[in-house]
Amino acid sequence: MESTVVLTIGDGYHLGMGKDRIVYAGMPSEKVYSIVQRKWEFFYRGYAWNLFFPKEQSEIRIDGINLLVEEVSPQRIVLRA
C-alpha cells in the first residue's frame, strides 16, 4: 500500500515495524537534501546519522524501504512510501 508522507524540517516518520525512523533535515545546499536515519532510541541514548542525496535523485532506499521523492524544498519533502 502506497502512502504520501509530507515532512517539514524536524518531522519524523516510522518506516514500519522493525524498521528505522527518518527525520527530514533540510537542504545544506541548493543541490543536496538530507534525511536523518535514527537507528535506535532508548530513553536518552540512541544513534542516528545524516544521509545526503542530490536534489535530482527521486528514488532512495533507506533501511530496505524504497521511497519515491515527489518534491523537495528547503522547508519540506514529499515522499511516497
Residues 30-76 have pLDDT tens digits of 999 999 999 876 677 778 999 999 999 999 999 999 999 999 999 99
CA dihedral 52, 54, 60, 62 (to 10 degrees): 0
Q: Report the chain's C-alpha Rg in angstroms.
A: 12
User: How far is 34 from 25, CA to CA, in rounded Å?
Assistant: 5
Single pTM value for the model: 0.88
Residue 17 has pLDDT above 70, yes or no: yes
Task: For the chain, give every domain's residue range.
Answer: 4-80
CA-to-CA separations, 1 to 4, 78, 81, in angstroms, rounded = 10, 17, 8
